Amino acid sequence: MRVRLPWVLVAVAVAALAGCDRAGGAPGAPGEDRTLQRLQQEAVRRQEQATRVERLANAAVTPQAETRKALPPPKQPRAAIGPLQLEVVALTVSHVVEGQRVSVATEDRFLRVQVAVKNAGKAAATADFAQAALVGVDQRTWGIARDAQRLAGTPALRSGLAPGESRDFVMFFEVPEAALGGGLVLAVSGAGAGRNGDGVISLD
């Protein structure tokens, strides 16, 4: 912030001088107006960048437990993909995901989605969440946050399941806070997904 403050002061000073010239009846030249506009835009850009860096820095030094929050479970947490029965069992948001030696922070939110999967069929089946995505109300999509996934020690998103076998899968997504206001859907690809609502779970 302190490094970028002089740019803001320069832009304000230039704007003030330009206003004084116009008040005296001497309109600024088009080239001068464009230069002033570029200075103002650059000052705003640098200020916004400094604000983002400051938010990230604050998030990075905040203990994960203080930024983590459990969300209510979905009202309809179950779906199916062929013989696989899916159920969202936990939703958690945080600013930081920690590994053994490093952590990753975001000014948005990391959404941790834990899904229990059971193979209810009579033959082996494969659960594959590698291409899972969140879909917002405006059809914007967010894929797996790979860095957070690796740091959390949950990189395995694909596994075979024997008949009757169950297993939990954990996915991390990076989404803006506004997306958590409602309407998020977890979409899972795979055999049978997308037909008759299969493989799609509302997180509300």
Range of the domain at 184: 64-202
Segments of the chain scoring below 50 in pLDDT: 1-26, 60, 191-192, 194-196
**Residue-level pLDDT at 130:** 93
**Residue-level pLDDT at 39:** 77
Count: domains in the chain:
2
Asked if 47 and 77 sit in the same domain, the reply is no
pTM over 0.75? The answer is: no
**Residue-level pLDDT at 73:** 93
**Residue-level pLDDT at 51:** 52
Asked if 49 and 148 sit in the same domain, the reply is no
Q: What is the pLDDT of residues 38-48, one digit of tens each?
A: 777 777 767 65
Q: Contact 94/64 with Cβ under 8 angstroms?
A: yes
Side-chain half-sphere CA neighbours of 28 within 13 A: 18
Question: Among residues 37, 61, 85, which one ends one of the domains?
Answer: 61
C-alpha span between 33 and 4 (Å, rounded)? 22
Q: Which two tokens stand for residue 177?
A: 């806070």
Asked if 114 and 47 sit in the same domain, the reply is no
C-alpha span between 86 and 183 (Å, rounded)? 19
Residue 71 maps to which CATH number? 2.60.40.1240
Give residues with Cβ within 8 angstroms of 49, minimum separation 6: 4
- What letter would DSSP give residue 68? -
